[in-house]
Each structure stands twice: as C-alpha cells, then as structure tokens.
A and B are shown apart, each in its own frame.
Chain A
Amino acid sequence: QVHLVESGGGLVKPGGSLRLSCAASGFAFSDYYMGWIRQAPGKGLEWTSYISSGRQNTNYPDSLKGRFTISRDNAKNSLYLEMNSLRPDDTAVYYCARVRWPNSYYFDSWGQGTLVTVSS
C-alpha cells in the first residue's frame, strides 16, 4: 500500500526559507518519478516540481525556477522541496505525489499535504 507522508510545513516570514520532506513507503521508491503540487487555500491545484527516479532530471514552472529545488534520497525513500525567498502567494498546502509508472507525468498517489503559511 502506497504511503506518502509530508512534513516540514509551518509559518515562515516573507523572504524566508523552508524545506519540506516526504517519506515514502509501500512501493519501490527508487523506481518512480516524483513531484510536488500545491494548493492555495480555497484554490485549485498547481504543479511545482518533478524529479526523475535517478535524480538526473528535474523540472519546474518558469515562475518557480531559481526559488524552488526538488531533490530525493533513494536510500532513505525520501523526497524534498527546498523553498527560498518565500512570498505570501506561496502560502498553500504542498502535496508530495508519485508519478504514475512509467513516467507518465500523471500523479497516481498523493500524500495528505503539509501547510506552508508565508506571513509576517
């Protein structure tokens, strides 16, 4: 049974940084591409990043390039999202999600999310 558990969210001041983590279990983590998707309060879904299984490839929307960095540690079955220069409009629930095999860029399993609030 696929299980994804995010952590690391919280309240951060504008301009600050935060590192989110996602612990994966129940599947061969190292075989799967992974991604982060966020959802601002009361709003829709926004894709923020993806990483290939072997960490060679990452991608971001242009609006987040340079501020967000996705990474993974396959030995620890963990996914990370480093967020810098945070702004109030980065406030959202951040979901860790597994890309449907084989690398289809659809998300077939999601965690419950971690809330990031950017406010002074």
Chain B
Amino acid sequence: EIVLTQSPATLSLSPGERATLSCRASQSVGNFLAWYQQKPGQAPRLLFFDGTSRATGIPARFSGSGSGTDFTLTISSLEPEDFAVYYCQQRNKWPLTFGGGTKVEIK
C-alpha cells in the first residue's frame, strides 16, 4: 500500500504567520491527493483534491501544490480558525490511505 508521510508532526506558529505542511508518498500518486482539515471534536473537512483544486468554500489563503511523491499545503497567513490537524489522502491506488497528520498549533 502507498504510505503517506506528513511532516512536521507539529507546527507551532502565531496568527498571521505562513504555514507550510508536507506530504510525501512512498510511490508516485500522480496528482491524486487530497488535503483535509480536522478541528477537535469535529469531522474532517475537504480542503483540496487532485493536489491543487480547492474544494467549495475554502478560503484563498489556502493553497495546494505538488505532484508525484511530494505535495505541500500552504496557509499564507494563519487565522485563529486555522489551528487544527491536517491530513493528506491518496486515491491513486487501493487501498485509499491517509497520512498521519500535521497539527498546527498556536505558538
């Protein structure tokens, strides 16, 4: 199965700062990668699909990039509501797999 490794595990930043989250795949997934945001006690929310396509209602401060084995989620300027855990997910090969997550916490 394709293993997705997310780094760093935890990112400590202040509101207004830029966040850069990485997702690396054990083999190429093409551009078939999604990003999700999960806040405590809530279900995940789809942010991006196919690497760079923003899901409905996602603010422009979020951007997705990458292809093949290396992907990045960038938040240009952190808002208070952006502090959460972020997961990547690939759909290139069965089984569908998720990364272990990156927690973005307030510094």
A binds B: yes
Q: How large is the interface on B (under 10, 10 to 19, 20 to 34, 35 or more residues)?
A: 20 to 34
Q: Closest residue to B34 on the A side, CB-wise?
A: A106
**Cβ of A85 under 8 Å from chain B:** no
CB neighbours (8 Å) of B98 from chain A are 44-47
In the complex, the answer to whether B44 meets A110 with C-beta atoms within 8 Å is: yes
In the complex, the answer to whether A105 meets B96 with C-beta atoms within 8 Å is: yes
CB neighbours (8 Å) of B87 from chain A are 44-45
CB interface residues, B 69-102, toward A, < 8 Å: 87, 89, 91, 94-101
The distance in angstroms between the C-alpha atoms of A62 and B95, with both chains bound, is 8
In the complex, the answer to whether A45 meets B89 with C-beta atoms within 8 Å is: yes
The distance in angstroms between the C-alpha atoms of A47 and B50, with both chains bound, is 18
In the complex, the answer to whether B43 meets A59 with C-beta atoms within 8 Å is: no
**Cβ of B55 under 8 Å from chain A:** yes
In the complex, the answer to whether B100 meets A44 with C-beta atoms within 8 Å is: yes
In the complex, the answer to whether B46 meets A108 with C-beta atoms within 8 Å is: yes
Q: Contacting B49 at CB < 8 Å: which of A50, A60, A62, A106?
A: A106
Q: Contacting A106 at CB < 8 Å: which of B42, B46, B95, B97?
A: B46
24 A-B pairs with C-beta separation under 8 A: A37-B44, A45-B36, A45-B44, A45-B101, A46-B98, A47-B89, A47-B95, A47-B96, A47-B97, A50-B96, A59-B94, A61-B1, A95-B43, A100-B46, A105-B96, A106-B46, A107-B44, A107-B89, A108-B46, A108-B56, A110-B43, A110-B45, A112-B43, A113-B43
A-B interface, 6 closest residue pairs, ranked by CB to CB distance from nearest: A110-B43, A105-B91, A61-B95, A47-B96, A45-B98, A106-B34
Task: Please give the residue numbers on chain B whose beta carbons come within 8 Å of chain A beta carbons, in ascending order.
Answer: 1, 34, 36, 42-46, 49-50, 55-56, 87, 89, 91, 94-101
Given contacts A106-B46, A107-B34, 7 further A-B contacts (CB under 8 A): A44-B101, A45-B36, A50-B96, A59-B95, A62-B95, A104-B49, A105-B91
